[in-house]
Amino acid sequence: MIEHPHGSSRRARTLFIAIALLLSLGLWFATNEVLRRTAAARVPPLPDLASAPGPVADQLRAADADARAHPTVGAYLGRLAMAYHANTYSQEARPIYGQARDHDPGDWRWKWGMILLDEEVGDTEGALASLREYTSAHEGDALAWLHRGMAAFNLGHDDEAAEAFARARDAPDAGRAPGPRPAFFPLSAYARLGLARLAFRRGDYQAAASIIEPVTAGAPRFGPAHRLLGEALRQLGRDDEAAAQFGRALRCGPYTPPVDSFIDDLALVSASSTFLLKEAGVAFNKGDVAWSERLLRRALELYPRDEDVLGELALLLVRQRRFDDAAPLLDRFLSLPPTHYATPSKIGAELATQRAHIDRAIECYRTALDLLPDHAANHLNLGMALAVAGRYDEAEPLFRQALEMEPHNDLARRNLARLMFDTKRYAEAAVAFEALLDARPDDAEARFLLGRARELLNETAAALEAYNAALEVDPDHEATLEALAMLLAQEDRIDDALVRANHLVAIAPNSARAHYALARIAVLAGNAGAARAACQRALELDAGFQPARELLDRIPD
């Protein structure tokens, strides 16, 4: 039988096409697989994660696997780089940021991550070179201009720094998509600080002051501005104003860097307790308690038995006076038990300010002392808490131990003297206060207490001398004015007593106690009308002030 030539030809053609298609598909997939593996081989191998915490290792392995499965996709590479960066594997992060940037040059984050890593390691020149490139491509990124200004400043390129700071100052907003939280201080504040530092550096203190003064008004909690203004004012010879600015700077707390949405994103990615604790600390110092708490709670989810995480979160809640929220965490923390004294000590310090929580403060301070008995402050802190609780017998040896360890510790000396006074050992207290005043002659409170001790020892002349000395140091020391007024009245020096009492009322017009003191003097002076008026004023200020009510009842009509 002869087969039709067209039929066999068709079959052959069909077979050939099928083979060609299969070959094409096979080659296509094979080539892509080779390319993928080659690209995946460019991704650096995972570091040794044997000693890495479990959450960190898990996260890095997962991100690494995703990146190797998509080695030419910038988003996956970037995610891996951020995972390394957020878990403090900076060396591993850098080249992968570079690869992410190669594959996804339009995403600003990869270049920015590399810049941050250069800055971290101290390569200011490298960072500046990258920042020049970056700001050319992202002219609206105010934070980048700020970083460029700081880098240029650090390398002495003042003109470039000035221009960059000016760009950062004048930008209408950050120039980036908003991050997970708003900026605490405007970028313009940091930019003005940079410009003021430039002026200061070239000796133009007036210009520095002019530049920074608006910042102190607009961002009053921005401590570095107050400090620089204080320095400028001091150079200009305006010492009193300078001192005021330094005081404000101290109250603002430590310097905190500008909010960077990229770093915030890193924090949300991070599985590293070290990174999360660091960022939480920075946020808390800045006053951003919500962000700090958010990061600490994330850390706690990952590390529920970590001493530092538990301690820092408990400390935050205690500082916020959220004692009920803090209590279970504090229980867990103290039951671990902790191995480092610092956090129990800090928690104790916060609790000790609240009389209702003094027992808990004692527990924390005792833990701190057990952990580091060689530290005089630990003895002192526990002693102070015990004294507040009225446990003087336990407190006294702690004060003495602190003094033995640090003979010049004035705080220990003061507390010991105060304890003696509170336990009615007035003669010992007087000696202790005099020793304290040898080292700190300008301590008005100590002089007042010395006076009280002398008075209670019936050493009137010495008491008067001490009270007057206290007023020389602080003319408005209320407790001294009151005590001196009463003592003068008892010595039948009514006119002198009235001077002190009137002064007391003048400086503390809203103090019921001050008016009550005046009333008592007025009674001794035989001025019933004035006494009655003063008592009534005291009761207006404080209706429950019983001594004033009792005195009023005794004043004849």
Partner 1 sequence: MPGPTPSRRFPVGAIVIVLIIIGVPAAAIVLHASRSGRSVGETIREVVAVPDDEWTMERPSLHPRFARRRIGLPTTGKPTITHVTAADLDDDGLLDVLVSDAGANRIGWIRQTAPGQFSEQFISPAIIAPARTQAIDIDLDGDLDVLIAGLGSLFPTIDKLGTVIILEQAGGEFIAHTIAIRRPRIADVRAGDLDGDGDLDLAVAAFGADEGELFWMENTGGWTFVNHVLHRLSGTIDVIPHDLDRDGDLDLVCVVSQEWEEIYAFLNDGAGRFEQRLLYGASNDDYGSSGISLADLDADGDDDILYTNGDAFDYTPPRPRPWHGIQWLENDGALNFTFHRLVDYPGAYGSSAADFDGDGDLDIVAVSAFNEWESPAAQSVIWLENLGGAAFARHDIANDPTHQITVAVGDYNGDGRPDLVTGGIHFYPPYDRIGRVTLWTNTPPGTSRGTSP
Q: Which of residues 334-393 bind partner 1 (CB under 8 A)?
A: 339-340, 342-343, 372-375, 377
Q: CB 87 → partner 1: shortest distance, Å? A: 9
**CB 410, min distance to partner 1, A:** 9
Distance CA 426, CA 482 (A): 20
Tell the smallest beta-carbon distance from residue 379 to partner 1 (Å).
14
> How far is the CA of 175 from the CAs of 143, 215, 508, in angstroms?
8, 21, 52
Of 218, 225, 275, 260, the residue nearest 93 (C-alpha): 275
Region 444-483 residues binding partner 1, contact defined as CB under 8 A? none
CA gap 374, 113 in Å, rounded: 43
Of 336, 342, 437, 408, give the one whose Cα is nearest residue 381.
342
Those residues with Cβ within 8 angstroms of residue 161's Cβ, 6 or more apart along the chain or in another chain = 149, 150, 152, 153, 194, 198
By CB under 8 A, tell whether 122 contacts partner 1.
yes
Stretch that binds partner 1, among 15-23, 384-392, 425-433, 482-490 (CB under 8 A): 15-23
Q: Is 165 in the site for partner 1 (CB under 8 A)?
A: no
Tell whether residue 180 is a contact of partner 1 (CB under 8 A). Answer: no
CB 211 within 8 A of CB 199: yes
Q: Of 74, 135, 62, 124, which is closest to residue 99 (Cα–Cα)?
A: 74
CA of 405: how far to CAs of 383, 386, 408, 458, in Å? 14, 19, 9, 35
Instruction: Rule CB under 8 A: say whether 62 interacts with partner 1.
Output: no
**Tokens representing residue 422 in the block:** 């509170």
Residue 398 carries which side chain, given as an amino acid letter? L
* Site membership for partner 1, residue 277 (CB under 8 A): yes
Assess 257 for contact with partner 1 (CB under 8 A). Answer: yes
CA angle 27, 31, 33 (to 5 degrees): 120
Is 120 an interacting residue with respect to partner 1 (CB under 8 A)? Answer: yes
89 is an interface residue for partner 1 by CB under 8 A: yes
| Contacts to partner 1 from residues 501-540, by CB under 8 A | none
Contact positions with partner 1 (CB under 8 A) in 292-311:
307-308, 311
Least distance to partner 1, CB of residue 153, Å = 7
Closest approach, Cβ 470 to partner 1, in A, equals 21
Residue of the chain from 124, 320, 423, 511 that contacts partner 1 (CB under 8 A)? 124
By beta-carbon proximity to partner 1, the closer residue of 121 and 427 is 121
Nearest of 390, 471, 396 to residue 429 by alpha carbon: 396
Cα–Cα distance measured from residue 104 to residue 78, given in angstroms and rounded to the nearest whole number: 9
The amino acid sitting at 84 is Y
Task: Give the residue, chosen from 11, 18, 20, 304, that forms a contact with partner 1 under the rule CB under 8 A.
Answer: 20
The pattern of x and - marking residues 214 through 253 that bind partner 1 according to CB under 8 A reads ----------x------x--x-----------x--xx---
Under 8 Å between Cβ of 128 and 152: yes
CB of 13 to partner 1, least distance (A): 9
> Cα-flanking dihedrals φ and ψ of residue 405, to 5°?
-75, -35
Q: Is 88 one of the binding residues for partner 1 (CB under 8 A)? A: yes
- Render the burial of 109-130: b for 16+ CB within 10 Å, e for the rest: bbbbbbbbbbbeeeebebbbeb
Instruction: Name the minimum Å distance from CB 405 to partner 1.
Output: 7
Q: Look at residues 302, 265, 274 and name the one whose alpha carbon lies nearest to residue 79.
A: 265
* Choices 144-152, 326-334, 348-356, 430-438; region in contact with partner 1 by CB under 8 A: 144-152
Q: Which of 44, 98, 175, 281 is close enough to bind partner 1 by CB under 8 A?
A: 281
Q: Does 285 bind partner 1 (CB under 8 A)?
A: no
Residue 425 φ/ψ, nearest 5 degrees: -95, 70
Q: Which of 12, 62, 290, 427 binds partner 1 (CB under 8 A)?
A: 12
Task: Out of 46, 83, 97, 103, point to the residue binding partner 1 (CB under 8 A).
Answer: 103
Tokens describing residue 549: 């009510």
Q: How far apart are CA 265 and CA 93, in angstroms?
A: 15
* Sole window of 150-158, 329-337, 494-502, 512-520 interacting with partner 1 (rule: CB under 8 A): 150-158
Phi, psi of 383 (to 5 degrees): -60, -45
User: Binding string to partner 1 for residues 399 to 428, with x set by CB under 8 A, is what?
Assistant: ------xxxxx-------------------
Least Å from the CB of residue 515 to partner 1: 37
Stretch that binds partner 1, among 6-14, 290-298, 321-329, 491-499 (CB under 8 A): 6-14
d(CA 413, CA 550): 39
Q: For residue 162, state whether it binds partner 1 (rule: CB under 8 A).
A: no
Nearer residue to partner 1 within complex by CB, 72 or 511: 72
For residues 210 and 205, give the distance between their C-alpha atoms in angstroms, rounded to a whole number: 9
Give the DSSP letter of residue 181.
S
Which residue, 64 or 312, is less far from partner 1 as judged by CB? 312
Binding window for partner 1 (CB under 8 A); candidates: 82-90, 387-395, 425-433, 464-472? 82-90
Q: Which of 47, 180, 254, 337 binds partner 1 (CB under 8 A)?
A: 254
Binding residue for partner 1, selected from 43, 57, 129, 155, defined by CB under 8 A: 155
On whether the CB atoms of residues 56 and 98 are closer than 8 A, the answer is no
Please count the residues of this chain forming the interface with partner 1, following the rule CB under 8 A: 75
